[in-house]
Amino acid sequence: MMHEKSVTELAAGLRSGEFSSVELVEHYLERIERLDGELNSFITVTAEQAIEQARAADARIAAGDAGPVTGIPIAHKDIYCTNGVKTSCGSRMLDNFTAPYDANVVSRLRDAGAVMLGKTNMDEFAMGSTSESSFYGPVKNPWNTGRVPGGSSGGSAVAVAARLCAAATGTDTGGSIRQPASHCGITGLKPTYGRVSRYGMIAYASSLDQGGPMAQTAEDVAFLLQAMAGFDERDSTSSDTPVPDYSATLEDSIEGLKIGLPGEYFDAGLDEGVRKSVEEAVELYKSLGAEIREISLPNTGLAVASYYVVAPAECSSNLSRYDGVRFGHRCDDPVDLEDLYKRSRSEGFGAEVKRRIMIGTYVLSAGYYDAFYLKAQKIRQLISDDFRKAFEQVDVIMGPASPTTAVALGEMADDPVSMYLSDVYTVMTNMAGLPGISIPVAPVEGMPVGLQITGNYFDEARLLNIAHRFQQNSDWHRLMPEGV
């Protein structure tokens, strides 16, 4: 079946004339209509637009003007602005917002010929680790619909895992690409901060947010990243570091690769099944000629606490613009300006967003700034120093993407601290601005597990090479949930 093929295989089929982009898009749209009612991975499906883009892609292919993603059906996380299409961030606050322009990521992928099937569901304003806080209801894991898919890019992860699209975009502020990729058994890459433009990507925490691709394989992710990455003058944090050919080095040998295993990632908080899967994956790398070294990241224990000061502080600032005046949700019949602000924000934001706004406002307030925010930023620097020292000894760092497999729906609904702690292995990468990838390894009791590989700055090509070599020697990335 077409939907079982990777982006690479679909591209080959399109070029050979085995099927057209229109046929491919119609196939995926039928699957979305049939399967997504239970999964709830999409907020908006853009069927007519997708068929139109597919016809244009077929014309490009016929003219010999096709790239690796031309004609490939993808989905965008509903945090990316899409011209003429609702962009909601999973929130009632933006339920009535139609973006007047395309985000940089959206326009780059469109120019590369990718076809947008729609916008995927997510934790409200990307705040969450379960994709349950959406105004449009929780996203459900296709491996077990009684469990969460991870978050906040849960809709994108589910759409790829359930083969409702060939690939999708996500965003990662503290693990929101890698953790749902782990829970859904797909490949997800968080690039170096600044590698992918944030223009048109609705902000949660500006110094941490980074867009990235999600797909079945590392090879697929390499093609997506090639289209997404690059300097953008409209984003002041965008890097002008040259973009390499990510697929050119996929086949390189990893003989002599030095892999670091932080002792802090394998402590008592790690599920034993997950530990075994990760250790088996490391052994495979060892058999391919890699060298394993024990390392330490001593400030790991401070990462979650410091992250949940920095990120809410930035969110309280970024979300102050949603006041009911110019766009977004506006309360009915306000009696005065203060009432407009209060009721519009109270009605528009959900509980988790309100919680983070309150935390952020508190840590930035007079008398608490030095005690919390400034201290968290100092810890952030210590975390970066830990990684710098580690990369003097090793080429990459490996460990679990999440301490457990996906939890049951509702399990963390009344326990936000447990939800925050589930990000323990991913937030450090964002705090330091480093790239990281999650790839599927051996499942535990039928649920996917992700191996996280962290690299040095702008070392995405090496991460993709290392992930690809693993996938050439394993089949975990080929597994599909039953019933899809």
**Whole-angstrom distance, CA of residue 74 vs CA of residue 10:** 12
pLDDT tens-place string over residues 416-442: 877 877 899 999 999 999 999 999 999
**Whole-angstrom distance, CA of residue 173 vs CA of residue 409:** 22
Verify whether residue 152 is a known catalytic residue: yes
Higher-pLDDT residue of 84 and 418 is: 84
Residue 283 within a domain: no
Domain count for the chain: 1
Say which amino acid occupies 135.
F
**Whole-angstrom distance, CA of residue 269 vs CA of residue 174:** 18
Work out the angle at residue 102's Cα, subtended by the Cα atoms of residues 214 and 184, and round it to the nearest 5 degrees. 15
Cβ distance 75 to 121 under 8 Å?
no
Residue 48 within a domain: yes
Q: What is the pTM of this model?
A: 0.97
Residue 125 within a domain: yes
| Residue among 77, 119, 140, 190 flagged as catalytic | 77
Query: What's the full length of the chain, in residues?
Result: 484
Residue 454 within a domain: yes
Work out the angle at residue 424's Cα, subtended by the Cα atoms of residues 414 and 278, and round it to the nearest 5 degrees. 115
Residue 381 within a domain: no
CA contacts within 13 A on the Cβ side of 173: 27
Across residues 167-186, what is the average pLDDT? 98
pLDDT tens-place string over residues 224-259: 999 999 999 999 999 999 999 999 999 999 999 999
pLDDT band with cut points at 50, 70 and 90 for residue 168: very high
Cβ distance 44 to 32 under 8 Å?
no
Verify whether residue 176 is a known catalytic residue: yes
pLDDT tens-place string over residues 351-389: 999 999 999 999 999 889 999 999 999 999 999 999 999
- Return the pLDDT at 416: 80
Residue 80 within a domain: yes
- Return the pLDDT at 415: 78
Higher-pLDDT residue of 415 and 3 is: 3
- Return the pLDDT at 437: 98
Verify whether residue 77 is a known catalytic residue: yes
Using CB atoms within 10 Å of the CB of residue 427, give its burial: 0 to 12 exposed, 13 to 18 middle, 19+ buried.
buried
**Whole-angstrom distance, CA of residue 205 vs CA of residue 182:** 22
| Whole-number percent of the chain with pLDDT over 70 | 100
pLDDT band with cut points at 50, 70 and 90 for residue 483: confident
154: domain CATH number is 3.90.1300.10
**Whole-angstrom distance, CA of residue 350 vs CA of residue 93:** 9
| Residue among 20, 91, 152, 197 flagged as catalytic | 152
φ, ψ of residue 106 in degrees (nearest 5): -65, -45
- Return the pLDDT at 413: 76
Backbone angle region of 313, left / alpha / beta, with phi > 0 → left and psi within -120 to 50 → alpha: alpha
> What's the CA dihedral at 208, 95, 135, 80 to 10 degrees?
-30
Q: Which domain covers residue 245, as residue numbers?
A: 2-257+436-478
pLDDT of 296 over the 90 cut: yes
Across residues 108-132, what is the average pLDDT? 97
Alpha helices by DSSP H, listed for 113-210, are 154-161, 178-184
Residues 6+ apart with CB under 8 A from 310: 205, 207, 208, 373, 376, 377, 380, 431
| Residue among 176, 238, 239, 402 flagged as catalytic | 176
Residue 469 within a domain: yes
Across residues 453-470, what is the average pLDDT? 98
Residue 223 within a domain: yes
Quick one: tokens of 1? 């079946």
pLDDT of 414 over the 80 cut: no
Closest alpha carbon to 177 in 167, 163, 166, 162: 167
Beta bridge partners of 439: 451
- Return the pLDDT at 211: 98
**Whole-angstrom distance, CA of residue 62 vs CA of residue 28:** 22
**Whole-angstrom distance, CA of residue 88 vs CA of residue 136:** 10
- Return the pLDDT at 383: 98
φ, ψ of residue 445 in degrees (nearest 5): 50, 45
- Return the pLDDT at 71: 98
**Whole-angstrom distance, CA of residue 106 vs CA of residue 196:** 11
Closest alpha carbon to 400 in 152, 208, 179, 161: 179
Beta bridge partners of 212: 170
pLDDT of 194 over the 90 cut: yes
pLDDT band with cut points at 50, 70 and 90 for residue 310: very high
* Mean pLDDT score across all residues of the chain: 96
